């Protein structure tokens, strides 16, 4: 990365890569595969960019994909110290009756009034897709499944899941319980990025509890060693669904597929998306969150300059061969007046491919600058007057 100029108005241009173009003739990206599914999404995990989509925001029954949210909230509560992995949870009659074997759904086979640790329940939710485990942990966290559903909806709103509404912790059918392929990809990305330790559970092929061993229903864990999660779902209303993720050559892709017609089909259609994504796209993080990219002049402050950077990583996903052609222009506000708070927007970065802007993001102050004394403010007022005359 080279800063090629920094003029008085604080405008600069930098090349994202100093190396020459690696591909003079970038490969042609063919049309994406058409899948036998109601809706689907292919997302680059690093950037969050959607590479392929079909009916991505259609509200559909998510079946047991719901348990991704149940597990996400449980791990969040663990990380926040509100519950412990070795806490003992008593299995209520509601959890046993609604989520047990008698209900006909997937179950961890938890006896009524028995106890299980939070860690065991979490494994039972993720690997065995236990309805009983999901209700038990929901009741332990929120007191009731209804109250837990309120937490699910608040979390969905925070994550930007605009087409999701939850009424239970399991995904059992309900007319007001729905999500979308796009929303589930957003949730999967949060699970992967926020908690690597607990995400490792999603790659486990089986779980033994109370002498009952059950396999993970994600067939791709056996077929593709690059796949390390996430979750399957199935009801007669929802069809066969799968949210999956894989890592190849340091890049991670996320797929979300709703409404295929069999267990085999959801695995095969997911594999098509993953193959397409890894074959024709690449991503790269050009600037890290919090890294100093420039220093901006500050007027009337206790300091003459403030460090500028990004509030989030600048990661881009493009067809292979295009990343090397990107250039970024960075413009800083030439009249920054103290006080300035850390995080204040003080400029902008635009990334272009030729004349097309492919990403625009804010530059922010990486530190605070307090207001200067009276003499400093008066002197800078005079300087700013003459600066304005000549610029």
Contact 240, 262 (CB under 8 A): yes
Q: Are residues 369 and 303 in the same domain?
A: yes
Q: Are residues 221 and 310 in the same domain?
A: no
Confidence bin at 298 (pLDDT 50/70/90): confident
Q: Are residues 232 and 181 in the same domain?
A: yes
Report pTM: 0.84
Q: Are residues 270 and 313 in the same domain?
A: no
Q: What pLDDT does residue 3 have?
A: 30
Contact 334, 320 (CB under 8 A): no
User: pLDDT digits over 234-252, tens only?
Assistant: 999 999 999 999 999 989 9
Q: Are residues 127 and 201 in the same domain?
A: yes
Confidence bin at 25 (pLDDT 50/70/90): low
**CA of residue 67 relative to chain centroid, distance:** 16
**In the Cβ-directed half-sphere of 65, how many Cα atoms lie within 13 Å?**
33
Q: Are residues 240 and 270 in the same domain?
A: yes
pLDDT at 8 over 80: no
Q: Are residues 98 and 231 in the same domain?
A: yes
Residue 239 backbone class (left: φ over 0; alpha: ψ -120 to 50; beta: rest): left
Q: Which of 315, 313, 67 lies closest to 184 in space, CA to CA?
A: 67
Q: Cα dist. 266→218, 277, 363 in Å? A: 9, 17, 42
Q: What pLDDT does residue 235 have?
A: 94
Q: Are residues 365 and 275 in the same domain?
A: no
Among 177-191, 208-222, 249-263, 296-310, which stretch is predicted with the lowest mean pLDDT? Answer: 296-310
pLDDT at 388 over 70: no
Q: Are residues 135 and 266 in the same domain?
A: yes
| Boundary of a domain, candidates 256, 282, 308 | 282
Q: Are residues 185 and 92 in the same domain?
A: yes
Q: Are residues 92 and 182 in the same domain?
A: yes
Q: Which tokens is 186 given?
A: 């957003």
Contact 66, 166 (CB under 8 A): yes
CATH number at residue 381: 2.60.410.10
Check residue 176 and report its DSSP letter. Answer: T
pLDDT at 263 over 90: yes
Q: Is residue 3 part of a domain?
A: no
Q: Are residues 73 and 204 in the same domain?
A: yes
Euclidean distance between CA atoms 345 and 362, whole angstroms: 6
Which has more confidence, 389 or 366?
366
Domain encompassing residue 201: 37-282
In order, the DSSP letters of 286-331 are: EE-TT---EEEEEESBSSSEEEEEESS-EEEEEETT-GGG-EEEEE
User: pLDDT digits over 101-111, tens only?
Assistant: 656 689 999 99
Enzyme catalytic residues: 64, 67, 129
Q: Is residue 18 part of a domain?
A: no
Across the chain, what does the average pLDDT equal?
88
User: pLDDT digits over 161-213, tens only?
Assistant: 999 999 999 999 999 999 999 999 999 999 999 999 999 999 999 999 999 99
| C-alpha dihedral sign at 58, 76, 211, 91 | negative
CATH number at residue 167: 3.40.710.10
Q: Is residue 326 part of a domain?
A: yes
| Boundary of a domain, candidates 259, 282, 305 | 282
Q: Is residue 253 part of a domain?
A: yes
3-state secondary structure of 110: coil
57-67 mean pLDDT: 98
Euclidean distance between CA atoms 68 and 91, whole angstroms: 21
Confidence bin at 124 (pLDDT 50/70/90): very high
What percentage of residues in the chain have a pLDDT greater than 70? 90
pLDDT at 10 over 50: no
What percentage of residues in the chain have a pLDDT greater than 90? 66
E-strand stretches of the chain? 2-3, 11-15, 39-44, 50-54, 88-90, 115-117, 206-209, 212-215, 227-235, 239-248, 251-260, 281-287, 294-299, 305-310, 314-319, 327-332, 336-337, 345-353, 356-365
């Amino acid at each position: 990365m080279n800063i090629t100029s920094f003029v008085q108005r604080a405008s600069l241009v930098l090349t994202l890569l100093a190396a020459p173009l690696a591909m003079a003739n970038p490969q042609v990206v063919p049309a994406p595969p058409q899948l036998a599914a109601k809706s689907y999404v292919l997302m680059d995990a690093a950037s969050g960019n959607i590479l392929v989509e079909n009916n991505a925001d259609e509200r559909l029954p998510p079946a047991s994909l719901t348990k991704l949210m149940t597990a996400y909230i449980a791990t969040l509560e663990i990380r926040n110290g509100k519950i412990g992995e070795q806490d003992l949870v008593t299995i209520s009659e509601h959890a046993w009756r609604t989520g047990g074997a008698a209900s006909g759904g997937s179950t961890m086979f938890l006896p009524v009034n028995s106890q299980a640790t939070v860690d065991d329940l979490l494994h039972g939710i993720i690997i065995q897709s236990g309805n009983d485990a999901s209700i038990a942990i929901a009741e332990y966290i929120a007191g009731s499944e209804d109250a837990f559903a309120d937490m699910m909806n608040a979390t969905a709103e925070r994550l930007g899941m605009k087409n999701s509404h939850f009424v239970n912790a399991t995904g059992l059918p309900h007319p007001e319980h729905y999500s979308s392929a796009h929303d589930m990809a957003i949730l999967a990305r949060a699970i992967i990025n926020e908690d690597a330790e607990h995400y490792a559970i999603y790659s486990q092929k089986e779980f033994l509890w109370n002498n009952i061993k059950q396999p993970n229903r994600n067939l791709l864990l056996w077929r593709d060693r690059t796949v390390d999660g996430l979750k399957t779902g199935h009801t007669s209303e929802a069809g066969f669904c799968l949210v999956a993720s894989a890592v190849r050559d340091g890049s991670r892709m996320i797929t979300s597929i709703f409404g295929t017609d069999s267990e085999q089909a959801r695995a095969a259609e997911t594999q098509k998306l993953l193959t397409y994504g890894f074959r024709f796209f690449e991503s790269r993080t050009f600037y890290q969150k919090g890294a100093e990219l420039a220093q901006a002049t500050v007027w009337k402050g206790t300091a003459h300059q403030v460090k500028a950077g990004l509030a989030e990583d600048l990661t881009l996903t493009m067809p292979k061969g295009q990343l090397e052609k990107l250039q970024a222009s960075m413009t800083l506000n030439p009249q920054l007046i103290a006080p300035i708070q850390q995080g204040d927007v003080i400029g902008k970065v635009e990334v272009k491919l030729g004349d097309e802007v492919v990403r625009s993001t804010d530059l922010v102050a990486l530190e605070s600058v307090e207001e200067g004394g009276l003499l400093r403010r008066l002197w800078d007022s005079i300087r700013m007057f003459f600066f304005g005359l000549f610029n």
